[in-house]
């Protein structure tokens, strides 16, 4: 493990690193296919040595079944673009938080019909906390209510709009 | 492999993983059988979190054990006497109220425990705890709300959740018991002394029961033995189903 490109002074490696991050930015989350792994904050670091690329990722939820597919997506994308030796390393610490979803990620989620996390994750730890006043992504009404804390994937909760009566998903704070 | 392995940290981490795996397996039995679609999804989401946490703990235990055991080997190739989980988590689902009461007792305990484990002297365990504690917070929120809805619901739901509470109470004493493994991991700052979790647990349980208009059962005779591998008959049946494939076709892979 030597010659880490990120800290190199010459413009070459920096340009190269930009390209790698752009490639990673086009690997989509398998369950929310409008969000890239970079938007989601799952890709934590890229370390380049003389011989290989190491992509450091962190799981959203402990049991998230999409992790394996994400790893394969990363390796395939980099392989297809000329990086032969790619290692994906999983780290747990610091634990993933919805605070890492980028502003671009928030915008894409809402456009897709999923309400992005409201507020900072650390402020939502109370036993009785529940998001109220979430705006319906379809009719923008604020008369909405939580149907279930658990949705179609571990990261989402189910809500319903009391005005247009449509159900919608909320990306809950973690 | 015996439960009195030479490395107490291994035994401790394995026991934590066993709690998560066994309860995760129990909850997954609800898949396709939930009383309403939202709960079918909710319970199996919680199962998924627990199995994910079990994988993290088993992977670490495998490294600590020194025999190069994988998470799968630890999950699928041990007999019930080698499992260190609490008796509470292996109790059958019975009805939805029973499942919720079991989950509530465990979540209140598990959240208190994992909050403390975030400060474990064992860095890896502290990292796993910091990850898990966020998920367990949602679990406790979910089971607490259902305790209240069922307790403060109809006459029938009140009766059934109170019965579940009364019947499961005898398994809650074990949560706060210690043994040789625990004493050792507490001494070196890796683990948490179970009896120190009791005040937090009591406070949460009493708060929710009050809100739910439920009676806290009187302390009675408490059963135990899970941590030393003496389980109720229910664990054997659970393992028989969960381990079937690896027992019938050793080493089978996808």
Quick: pLDDT tens for A72-82.
Answer: 999 999 999 99
Query: Do B90 and B13 form a contact (C-beta atoms < 8 A)?
Result: no
Query: Do A53 and A13 form a contact (C-beta atoms < 8 A)?
Result: no
Query: Do B143 and B73 form a contact (C-beta atoms < 8 A)?
Result: no
- Look up the ipTM and state it: 0.87
Residue A50, pLDDT > 90, answer: no
Q: Is some CB atom of chain A closer than 8 A to the CB atom of B149?
A: no
Element (H, E) at B246: helix B233-248
pLDDT of residue A128: 65
pLDDT in tens, B163-190: 999 999 999 999 999 999 999 999 999 9
Which of A101-110, A130-139, B45-54 has the least mean pLDDT?
A130-139
Residue B154, pLDDT > 80, answer: yes
Please state, in angstroms and rounded to a whole number, the distance separating the CA atoms of residues A107 and A112: 9
Q: Is some CB atom of chain A closer than 8 A to the CB atom of B115?
A: no
Confidence band, pLDDT 50/70/90 cuts, at residue B67? confident
Which CATH number among 3.40.50.720, 2.70.98.60, 1.10.3660.10, 1.20.1260.10 corresponds to the domain B8-248?
Answer: 1.20.1260.10
- With a pLDDT cut of 70, the percent of chain B lying above it is 98
Cross-strand partners of A48: A53
A92 and A115 co-located in one domain: no
Confidence band, pLDDT 50/70/90 cuts, at residue A14? confident
The predicted model gives A90-102 an average pLDDT of 95
- Single out the residue of A112, A23, A107, A105 nearest to residue A60, CA to CA: A105
A77 and A108 co-located in one domain: no
Count CA atoms within 13 Å of residue B38 on its CB side.
14
Residue A131, pLDDT > 80, answer: no
Of all residues in chain A, what percent are helix, strand and coil, respectively (each to 5)? 30, 20, 50
Closest-CA distance of chain A to residue B51, Å: 6
A55 and A136 co-located in one domain: no
pLDDT of residue A123: 63
Element (H, E) at B144: helix B123-151
Confidence band, pLDDT 50/70/90 cuts, at residue B208? very high
pLDDT of residue B125: 98
The last residue of a domain, from among A56, A78, A96: A96
Which of A18-22, A146-150, B84-88, B233-237 has the least mean pLDDT?
A146-150
Please state, in angstroms and rounded to a whole number, the distance separating the CA atoms of residues B186 and B176: 13
Interface list for chain A against chain B, based on CB atoms closer than 8 Å: 59, 61-65, 92-97, 121, 125, 127-129, 147-152, 154, 158, 172, 174
Mutate to test the interface with A, among B30, B48, B63 (most CBs of A within 10 A): B48
- Tokens 């009719």 -> residue: A139
A87 and A118 co-located in one domain: no
Query: Do A31 and A61 form a contact (C-beta atoms < 8 A)?
Result: no
A113 and A141 co-located in one domain: yes
- Closest chain A residue by Cα to residue B24: A63
pLDDT in tens, B30-61: 999 999 999 999 999 999 999 999 999 999 99
How many domains is chain A partitioned into structurally? 2
pLDDT of residue A8: 42
pLDDT of residue A2: 37
Q: What is the mean pLDDT of chain A?
A: 88
Helices A11-24, A67-80: inter-axial angle, 10-degree rounding: 130
A87 and A105 co-located in one domain: no
Element (H, E) at B101: helix B96-117
Please state, in angstroms and rounded to a whole number, the distance separating the CA atoms of residues A72 and B15: 32
A111 and A162 co-located in one domain: yes
DSSP E strand boundaries for chain B:
none
Query: Do B246 and B72 form a contact (C-beta atoms < 8 A)?
Result: yes
pLDDT of residue B4: 47
A41 and A109 co-located in one domain: no
Q: Domain of A54: which CATH number?
A: 3.30.300.130
CA angle B240, B244, B247 (to 5 degrees): 110
- Single out the residue of A16, A162, A67, A8 nearest to residue B48, CA to CA: A67
pLDDT of residue A127: 60
pLDDT of residue A10: 47
pLDDT of residue B66: 79
Q: What is the mean pLDDT of chain B?
A: 95
Residue B1, pLDDT > 50, answer: no
Q: Is some CB atom of chain A closer than 8 A to the CB atom of B56?
A: yes
Sheet containing A86-90, strands listed edge to edge, beginning at the edge strand earlier in sequence: A43-48, A53-57, A86-90
* Whether residue A94 has a cis bond before it, omega within 30° of 0: yes
Confidence band, pLDDT 50/70/90 cuts, at residue B3? very low
The last residue of a domain, from among A96, A130, A153: A96
A53 and A69 co-located in one domain: yes
Q: Is some CB atom of chain A closer than 8 A to the CB atom of B65?
A: no
Query: Do B46 and B27 form a contact (C-beta atoms < 8 A)?
Result: yes
pLDDT of residue A4: 41
Judged by CB atoms closer than 8 Å, whether chains meet at A62 and B142 is answered as no
Please state, in angstroms and rounded to a whole number, the distance separating the CA atoms of residues B142 and B138: 6
The predicted model gives B213-227 an average pLDDT of 95
Q: Domain limits at A107?
A: 101-171
DSSP secondary structure code for residue B5 in this structure: -
pLDDT of residue B103: 98
Q: What string of H, E and C letters represents the secondary structure of B147-201?
A: HHHHHCCCHHHHHHHHHHHHHHHHHCHHHHCCCHHHHHHHHCCCCCCHHHHHHHH
Of all residues in chain B, what percent are helix, strand and coil, respectively (each to 5)? 70, 0, 30
Question: Which two tokens mark B30?
Answer: 């609800």
DSSP secondary structure code for residue B111 in this structure: H
Residue A11, pLDDT > 90, answer: no
pLDDT of residue A13: 79
pLDDT of residue A65: 85
Residue A5, pLDDT > 70, answer: no
Q: Where are the domains of chain B?
A: 8-248
Backbone angles phi and psi of B100, in degrees to 5: -70, -40
Question: Which two tokens mark B10?
Answer: 């291994």
- Tokens 């005005």 -> residue: A163
Q: Which residues contact A29 (CB under 8 A, 6 or more apart)?
A: A35, A36, A37, A40, A42, A66, A70
């Amino acid at each position: 493990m030597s010659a880490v490109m990120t800290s190199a002074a010459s413009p070459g490696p920096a340009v190269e690193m930009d390209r790698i991050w752009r490639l990673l930015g086009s690997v989509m989350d398998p369950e929310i296919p409008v969000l890239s792994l970079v938007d989601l904050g799952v890709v934590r670091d890229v370390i380049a040595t003389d011989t290989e690329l190491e992509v450091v990722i962190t799981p959203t939820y402990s049991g998230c079944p999409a992790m394996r597919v994400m790893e394969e997506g990363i390796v395939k994308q980099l392989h297809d673009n000329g990086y032969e030796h790619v290692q994906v390393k999983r780290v747990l610490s610091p634990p993933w938080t919805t605070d890492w979803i980028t502003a671009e990620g928030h915008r894409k989620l809402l456009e897709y019909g999923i309400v992005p996390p409201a507020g900072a994750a650390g402020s939502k730890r109370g036993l009785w906390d529940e998001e109220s006043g979430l705006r319906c992504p379809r009719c923008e009404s604020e008369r909405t209510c939580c149907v279930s804390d658990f949705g179609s994937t571990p990261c989402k909760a189910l809500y319903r709009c009391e005005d247009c009566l449509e159900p919608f998903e909320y990306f809950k704070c973690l | 492999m015996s439960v009195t392995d030479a490395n107490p940290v291994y035994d401790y981490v394995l026991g934590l993983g066993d709690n998560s795996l066994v309860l995760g397996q129990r909850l997954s039995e609800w898949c396709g059988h939930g009383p309403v679609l939202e709960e079918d999804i909710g319970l199996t989401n919680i199962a998924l979190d627990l199995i994910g946490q079990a994988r993290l703990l088993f992977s670490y235990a495998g490294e600590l054990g020194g025999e190069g055991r994988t998470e799968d080997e630890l999950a699928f190739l041990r007999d019930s006497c080698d499992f260190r989980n609490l008796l509470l988590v292996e109790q059958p689902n019975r009805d939805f109220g029973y499942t919720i009461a079991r989950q509530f007792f465990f979540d209140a305990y598990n959240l208190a425990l994992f909050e403390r484990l975030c400060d474990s002297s064992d860095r890896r365990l502290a990292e796993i705890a910091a990850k898990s504690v966020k998920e367990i917070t949602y679990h406790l929120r979910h089971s607490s709300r259902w305790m209240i809805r069922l307790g403060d619901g109809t006459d029938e739901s009140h009766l059934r959740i109170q019965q579940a509470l009364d019947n499961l109470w005898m398994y809650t004493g074990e949560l706060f018991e210690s043994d040789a493994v625990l004493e050792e991991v507490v001494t070196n700052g890796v683990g948490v002394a179970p009896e120190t979790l009791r005040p937090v647990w009591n406070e949460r349980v009493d708060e929710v029961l009050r809100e739910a208009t439920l009676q806290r059962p009187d302390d009675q005779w408490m059963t135990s033995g899970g941590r030393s591998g003496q389980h109720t008959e229910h664990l054997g049946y659970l393992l028989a189903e969960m381990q079937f494939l690896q027992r019938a076709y050793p080493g089978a892979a996808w």
